[in-house]
Amino acid sequence: MCRHLAWLGEPVSVASLVLDQPSGLLVQSYAPRRQKHGLMNADGWGVGFFDPRGQERSDSGDDTAPRRWRSASPLWGDASFASVAPALVSRCVVAAVRSASVGMPIEPSASAPFTDGTWLLSHNGVVDRAVLPPSKHAESTNDSALLAALIFDRGMDALGDVLVEVAAADPNARLNILAANGSRVVGTTWGDTLSVLSRDDGVVLASEPYDDDPAWREIPDRHLVEVHDSRVQLTPLKGS
């Protein structure tokens, strides 16, 4: 239902991850190559990143909250973002383009990434809202926002347990997650694709490869993947 990407590594421009790659999120918004559900992702987009200056000041207690730019419009039509994205530089990025489920609102606040002030989180998939508890912290009423609020409430270390519980309540759920806090990226595969690329300057996790580099590796379904200090660790999820 969406395509998303996370980066952790040396500072790079948002444009180099989202716009400039031959099959990056910009192209995936209208012509994804490996999307199993839906034909395009024209119902919004979002980019979240951590300011490297803020990360360097973290020991002094200064604000290190993630920054976001979200829209309900197709990514390909946003000239303002295209002009600014080359100047946005970060060590940690989460970005997504959205294909809204039927009946879900199309508004900027319904587009990933969602945040609790520390983590950025994107959901690629679908889940019955009836199995998700109401939350005053949810940024929108769509399934992804409610799922993000549940994960934030339970804590990222419980991510695997939360997804197993949600999947048990809704066996048709697809629960691919990407989340990052500036120094760590966590992802899951549950019903959709996710690939990893280890570069000399960092690690990319993405719904589908943004180019034809043979170094891309597909993450098996129903796995948790963690990236920290350029190390990639895979763990099978319970119930897989």
Catalytic residue among 1, 2, 5, 203: 2
DSSP letters along the chain, please? Answer: -EEEEEEEEEEEEHHHHHTSSTTSHHHHTT--SS-SS-S---S-EEEEE--HHHHHTGGGT-----EEEEESS-GGG-HHHHHHGGG-EEEEEEEEEE-PPTT---SGGGSSPEESSS-EEEEEEE--GGGSPP-TT-SSSSHHHHHHHHHHHH-GGGHHHHHHHHHHH-TT-EEEEEEE-SS-EEEEESSS--EEEEETTEEEEESS-SS--TT-EEPPSSEEEEEETTEEEEEEPTT-
For the question of residue 92 being annotated catalytic, the response is no
Annotated catalytic residues are 2
